[in-house]
Amino acid sequence: MSMTIHSIIKAKILEAQSEAFKNASTLTEMLKGLGNQLERKEDGGLYLAERIWVPVYGNLRTLIMNEAHATRYSIHPGADKMYYDLRGLYWWPGMKKDIAMYVSKCLTCCKVKAKHQKPSGLLQ
């Protein structure tokens, strides 16, 4: 018996990419000059070096980060681990910064981090 995990994220990304193309001025602003490096694949999606471009539309970036960080299969990885896991599949401008910000706001991670810190104050 094998387990397969399916996600609807790719379909949502492709839909969001088509929405992004409807507003060309927003599209050039979102890509920050990297639009000429994107290539269209067989599935109709835009990719940068084999990584699918995730537009800002529809809160997809947050959905991807939620799935990568808070599912029971990932067990709250830190910002670096999460970035290295996601960068092989997805791309958007400022991705590393967005992931670091997301992880810094995770309450579970903040609690665990607080437990591992040295006690403050003078020790006698």
Domains in the chain: boundaries: 9-108
Instruction: Judge whether residue 75 has pLDDT over 80.
Output: no
Task: Work out the pLDDT band at 106, boundaries 50, 70, 90.
Answer: confident
Beta bridge partner(s), residue 11:
none
Would the pLDDT of 115 be above 80? no
For residues 42-55, one letter each, b for 16 or more C-beta atoms within 10 angstroms of the residue's C-beta and e for the rest, the string is eeebbebeeebbbb
Positive/negative CA dihedral, 85, 16, 26, 31: positive
In this structure, are residues 42 and 50 in contact, taking their beta carbons and an 8 Å threshold? no
46 SS3 class: strand
Q: What is the residue-averaged pLDDT of the chain?
A: 80
Q: Does domain 9-108 have CATH number 1.10.340.70?
A: yes
* Token digits of residue 66: 């939620």
Specify the DSSP element, H or E, that contains 71: none
What are residue 51's DSSP bridge partners? 48
Q: Where are the beta strands (DSSP E) in 22-112?
A: 39-40, 46-48, 51-53, 90-91
- Report the pLDDT averaged over residues 1-20: 77
For residue range 29-43, list pLDDT tens digits in order. 667 677 778 899 998
**pLDDT one-digit tens code per residue, 14-23:** 999 888 878 7
- Asked whether 48 and 34 are in contact (CB, 8 A), the reply is yes
For the ranges 78-82, 104-108, 117-121, which has the lowest average pLDDT?
117-121
